[in-house]
Structure formats: C-alpha cells, structure tokens
Structure 1
Amino acid sequence: MADESQTQHSLGDRSARVLANTTKTPPQYDLITPRWLVRLLDWKPLESGTLRVNRVKDNTSVDVLCGQKDEQPLPETFVDYEEKPREYTLSAISTVLDVHTRVSDLFSSPHDQIKEQLRLTIESVKERQENELINNDDYGLLKNVPKGQRIQTRKGAPTPDDLDELISKVWKEPSFFLAHPLAVAAFGRECTRRGVPPATVSLFGSQFLTWRGLPIIPTNKLLVGGESSPKAPGGTTNILLLRVGEKKQGVIGLYQPGLPGEQTPGLSVRFMGINRSAIGSYLISLYCSAAVLTNDAIAVLENVDVGNYYDYK
C-alpha cells in the first residue's frame, strides 16, 4: 500500500512547454505613426517627375467694366504670367534590403521573413517621406512658408488667439492645422484654462481636437527642441495651417505613377538578385515631393512653447 504522505508529482509547466507551440505576433515597431499628413494631402501624379507651377505675375488684377451705359468703351486687358515659374522635381527616398537565403528558407514559419522585413522597411521609408514633406530643405512645408505668412506666438504657449491669427492668414477654405502632439496638448490646456474647451471631430476612425471647425492633426515630424527651427529654443515647435487641393490652389503632394514593381502610389519594390554570398537584395524606392501652389495656402505659428521637452522624453 502506497504511503499517502508521499509527495504527488506531475508534469511541470516548463517541461510541458517543450511540446507546446507558441503563438507569435509579427514584429511590432514603435516608430510607426499614423502619418495623417500623407492621408490628408491631395496627390497629383506627374508624367515625368517634374511639376511646373505657373502663377499670375505679381497678382495682376484684370481690368473689368461695370456699368449700364452702352456708349462706354470696353476696357482692354490681359493677364500676365511669371516668366520663370518654379519647377518641382520628385525626390527619391531609397534603401536596399538584404536577406540571407538561409534565413528566409529555414525561418519563415509562421511569419514570412522576407515579407516582414519588407513591411518594416517600407514603414521606415514612409515615415521618412512624411518627415521630408515637412522638413526637406527644398520642398518641405516649413521651408516654403512665405515671410508674410509667418507669425510669432503672443505668450509662448499656443492660444486660441494664435490659431485665429493663423486662420486670418489662410482664410480661403483652410483645411487643417498640423502640430506636434505636445503642441496639441499645450493648446488644449490653454483652451481649458480660458474656459473654451475645443470640440472634437472624428476622422479615419480617430478623434481630433478642433478649432473653429478645423481639425488639429498631430505629427511628430514637426520637431521639438529647435530642430525644426534654428532660432527656436529647446521646448518649442511650430504649428502649420494648410489649405490643400489643386482646385483650391492649395498644397498638394506629388508622385510618379506606374513605377516598375509599384506597391503603393509612388513606392516600388524590385528584386535585385542573389549574390555569391547567398544574400538576396531588394530595392525599395519612393518618389515624392510637395508644392505650395499659392502663397496664402500655408501659414506657420513659430516658437510655440510646449514646456520642458525633455520631461516628455
């Protein structure tokens, strides 16, 4: 008869897991953002990578007649154009992904290694795209705000008065504000302090603060700490207001359609072959630019104080 005091033994968790499968997620990537700006811009396809923006010269006014007397002579007029219009050429964002064939052959279950490597690389390229749309030295939105469309904050933190002044600069059908999440939070605090909490609106299934009915779109590509404005001290950033769309003479995105290996508009993936070291290479290329069609399509509120930036890092 067995001793009832004898310790009962059973298969332990650690040993049991040797025979069990583990459910795995695809790789999670902290740096992926919603990239709202890319979604909200109107995108214009180009025929050969270049857009020429023709403008009326010096905002020439057309001489017209308003009257009831038949004997009045008709005015003669014409509309003059700029003789040297600006041209925008698409910029390339490219990288080469290398994957050893041994890795893709042996370790592609349950998640395809090549597919996941391409997905993460494409996400990085698209993040760079939104950064370039805002900060590029040639076509970036911050670099293309005319001098007369730049204003300074009244007290440091963004206030309703500041955003109202931005609207006065882009008053013809403005579309949305663009701000760093810390600037959005700072504006919300100012509104609450004044007793005018901003309303919200739902876009793409997400909630956004608004001011005067215009959504305030967050992006971390409007940098904080002086990186987006050489004169801005640490803890400051900028807020943009845009009018978008070609029909509205606003801001538009530019891309090249019909690329070989096109995955999404303007982005292509091409297999470059396998070298003698058994490494397969894939070229990921994205061609894009942005154009501000008229000067009053964009304005910026500069040196917006969001507090001690390093407290949030």
Structure 2
Amino acid sequence: MSEDTELRRTLNEQAARQLANATKTRAQWSGITPRWLVSFLPWTPVEAGIYRLNRVIDPKGEVRTEVECSPRNDADLPETFVPYEENPREYSLNAVTTVLDVQTRVSDLYSHPIDQIQEQLRLLIEKVKERQESELINNAEYGLLTNAAPGQRIKTRKGQPTPDDLDELIAKVWKEPAFFLAHPRAIAAFGRECTRRGVPPPTVTLHGSSFLTWRGLPLIPSDKLTVTPDGRTNILLLRTGEAKQGVIGLFQPGVPGEVAPSLSVRFMGINRKAIASYLISLYCSAAILTEDAIGVLEDVYVGNYYDYA
C-alpha cells in the first residue's frame, strides 16, 4: 500500500471537528469600562424620584450674620438668623432606558448552553450602565461637567496638564477633595509631564486597581469625558458625600422589577409576531451640594496619537 493511500484512509482533522464540542464564550464587548465614577460616588436614596437641595443664601455683603466673641456684660446680644433659599432646586431622577426584542423561536431553540434572553439582557444592561456614567458627567440638567459653577473653572497654563494646573484645581476644591476625574489620555499626558519634570506621580491601590495620584488624590479614569478632534478635554476635581457638602449620586430603591439598585427589567409581553419585549430602565441623577464641591480644569491638551508614535 502506498503512503498516499495510507494518508487518504486517515481521519482528517476537519472531519473530526464535526464530532467535537467547542467551548463557547459569552459575547465579549470591548465597550464595557470599569465605570469608576459610579463606584467612587456616594449614593443617596430618594423618595418619589425627587431630591430637594436646600441652600443658605450667600449674603455677599447684603446680609451680615452677627456673631460676637466675648460680648461685654452690659451689651445686647446680636439678633440674627441664617437665610435659606426660598425656591430651592429640585432634582428629578433621569431614566436611561432601552427595549430588548427577542424572537421567541430564537430563544426557544438556541438557548443552550447560553440562555439567549439572559445574554441579551446582560449586554444591554452593560450598555445602559455605560450611558449612565456618561449622563452623570455630561447631562445638561445634572451632569457634573455641565453644572460646575463658572467661578470653579480654570484653564491650563500651557495646554498640557501640569502639576501646577492640578495644584490650582486643588485650591478651588480645597475642603477635603476626594479624587480627580479625567480621560485616560489626560492622565497619560499628566504622567508624561510629571516625568519630564522629574516628579513621577506615585500610585495607590483602590478597589483592587492601581491609580496615579497627585498630592495624595487619585486620578480616576473615565472615557466619558470626551476628547475633541484637536485633542482637548477637561479634568474634574470632586469633593464627595452629603456630610462634606460634596457631590452625590441619586437613586431610588425598590423600583418595580428591580434587579439592582434603581435598575429595573420588566417583561412587556409577546406580540402577534412572536416577539417578546423587555423594558430595561435605570433611574439616576447627581447633585452638587455646594458650588465649591467641584472644580474643572478646561482646555487640557492631551495630544494626538501620532504625536507620540
């Protein structure tokens, strides 16, 4: 028997693969990020989706609060009060929603070993959570970047983010700041500038991950802080928590169909074309309790990728 005949009688690999079970992964999506802002913000539960922010009226020379130190025995004590805003701002929870449509034939026949409906829900919930972080930063009504006070905004000295710029930002949010929030490219640009000056920033481990720090404050990355086509972005510095009159996230627990805090998945039924629908809703908002709880470093140049090729 010739060697060629012997090879033809051997089971080839392609035919053998037809009887083998491939190990399958869940669907991988590169758009999933750590969403550190959601993890680092303290979250306050609200009722009826409303949070009323009461503030003291800043006197600015119009009304003086009289407080005396060691008044004389024959002197009258000062009479005063602390004025409140008569029309405080109210925050309403924003809904990030989407609808999943699944053909029942698909879910009935092709849900082993991975359940098609659960996999679709998992991926759409990830998309909704990614949108949540973007809204917390950029939403026109309550976003941190868009609602920072004009007096809390500064511009970079030289374009690239420098230690001097971040120090000036700390001077704006000097009452127990918690962390910087920046695009990963902005953090990389800051790291390069620090290294160029011979002051490489130290790192700290939080939530099991390493972060660069400046003056002991971690630089938290988020790609939801956009970079313009010419390489410009912003860096935020936040003080957080109600006790510190800082920045907080808002959510409502116990919503119908809740699968996570303020996250709801509800079955909407099956139509006459055998399409099953599921409503995914995530309710959230954010509040800046006092103006000096957040500062913004604007017009930060992070460069184009080809600048460092």
Instruction: Judge same fold: TM > 0.5, yes or no.
Output: yes
Aligned equivalent of 1:52? 52
Match for residue 139 of structure 1 among 138, 142, 146: 142
Q: How does 1:1-313 map to 2 (within 5 A)?
A: 7-8=6-7, 9-59=9-59, 62-67=65-70, 69-225=72-228, 234-308=230-304
Mapped partners of 2:4, 2:138: distance in 1: 75
The DSSP-based 3-state class of the residue aligned with 1:148 is: helix
Aligned residues: percent identity? 69
Distance 1:47 1:310, change over 3 A: farther
What's the secondary structure of 2:27's corresponding residue? coil
Listed one character per residue, the Cα deviations across residues 219-259 of structure 1 (whole Å, up to 9, x for unaligned) are: 00000016xxxxxxx21000000001011100111111110
1:57, 1:106 → 2: CA distance? 64
Give the residue type in structure 2 aligned to 1:100. Q
Give, as a single letter, the amino acid of the residue that structure 1 aligns with 2:196.
R
Counterpart amino acid of residue 256 in structure 2: P
* Separation (CA, whole Å) in 2 of partners of 1:164 and 1:225: 24
The letter of the residue matching 1:273 is G
Distance between the aligned counterparts of 1:32 and 1:223, measured in 2? Answer: 16
Give distance in 2, aligned partners of 1:247 and 1:105: 51
| CA–CA distance in structure 2, aligned partners of residues 251 and 37 of structure 1 | 11
TM-score where L is the length of structure 1: 0.93
Per-residue CA deviation, residues 32-76 of structure 1 (Å, 9 max, x unaligned), is: 100000111111111111111100011566322211643332211
Segment drifting more, 78-87 vs 302-311: 302-311
Tell me: CA distance 1:3–1:258, structure 2 relative to 1, closer, same or farther (3 Å): closer
Q: Any stretches of 5+ residues in structure 1 without a counterpart?
A: 227-233
Count of residue correspondences: 304
Contact 2:71 2:77 in 1 (8 A): no
The AA in structure 2 aligned to 1:172 is: K
Deviations 1:106-133 (A, max 9, x none): 1111110000000000000000000000
- Taking a change above 3 Å as real, the CA distance of residues 72 and 98 of structure 1, as seen in their structure-2 partners, is same
Displacement of 1:266 in angstroms is 1.1
CA RMSD of aligned residues (A): 1.7
Structure-2-length-normalised TM-score: 0.94
